[in-house]
Structure 1
């Protein structure tokens, strides 16, 4: 976990120095909500490293299945560092967490899959009273943003 946090701090520092869309978003966009919630600091670092801040700050609407810091901590540090250091792989992974359109929890439970912004589908199921996105459990729903909605997941979902 320390490696992840140190790497996240490095990414945040590097992004702040580099400029170009790296400032902390303001308002009630998806990007701003993620930027202002300490539970999403690793996600924020990844979004910044992938150059997706402006995307998640734009008009949308988007539905984001947002992994927490604890979700990122489940990935072995070597694998996570490899992903974080490969901008295209990172962009693809992050866009796999984004579904175009605003999909509420009430709508999600009626779906069996959804097409993500990276062009692949996520599997949606119900298991033991929980909604699952692939193998990730949805732990919080319907965090409303001006450009979409966030559902929190307990694991990083992978294609």
Structure 2
């Protein structure tokens, strides 16, 4: 009897530990952004609102009227510039872009950061290597981004020749994936 109780206890403990391992693997599969948890059950906008390093991006998305689009089913791949990426733009650029009269220009810039579909960093790297080092993606704005591997790191190159490095990859969302980048991508 004691043996069967011990076996039952060991079996239950094993199940609990395997569940813990699965939870840990699940948590590790979706990295934190700016120290904030990014939940796969939330959409792109909900997680961006939770990110302490994407306040400028969230304000720009609101000013451009893109909240409903980025909350929709998607899926979308979003290259999300950090607040420090926006600070690299010339002084006054963001303040000018969020004005109502510049909504079209702001929308063009923001949608140049979005690709239809869900593309992981691994997929981009694999496709870039298979295509001679560069993988082209069409954005929602109609522009072209190029995924390029340089010294083992993944970069996204915009039509103006600017290269943004992925600093946090594969942040999965309920409606796509976010890749955090260190530069604002600019259409030509």
**TM-score, scaled to structure 2:** 0.68
How far does residue 95 in structure 1 lie from its aligned partner after superposition?
Answer: 0.3
- What is the distance in 2 between the residues matched to 1:149 and 1:33? 11
Secondary structure of the equivalent of 1:77? coil
Q: Is the 8 A contact 2:115 2:138 kept in 1?
A: yes
How far does residue 81 in structure 1 lie from its aligned partner after superposition?
Answer: 2.3
Correspondences of 1:1-159 after superposition (within 5 Å): 28-85=42-99, 86-109=102-125, 110-111=127-128, 112-134=135-157, 135-159=163-187
Instruction: Provide the aligned C-alpha RMSD in A.
Output: 1.1
Q: Deviations over 1:30-70 (max 9, x none)?
A: 01010111111110000000000111100000000000101
Q: Is the 8 A contact 2:137 2:144 kept in 1?
A: yes
Match of 1:17 in 2: none
- What is the distance in 2 between the residues matched to 1:141 and 1:40? 15
Name the count of aligned residue pairs. 133
**TM-score, scaled to structure 1:** 0.80
How far does residue 101 in structure 1 lie from its aligned partner after superposition?
Answer: 0.2
How far does residue 124 in structure 1 lie from its aligned partner after superposition?
Answer: 1.5
Is the deviation greater in 40-49 or in 27-36?
27-36
- What is the distance in 2 between the residues matched to 1:49 and 1:88? 10
Secondary structure of the equivalent of 2:73? coil
Secondary structure of the equivalent of 2:109? helix
Structure 1 gaps, min length 5: 1-26
How far does residue 123 in structure 1 lie from its aligned partner after superposition?
Answer: 1.6
Q: Is the 8 A contact 2:121 2:154 kept in 1?
A: no
- What is the distance in 2 between the residues matched to 1:67 and 1:139? 10
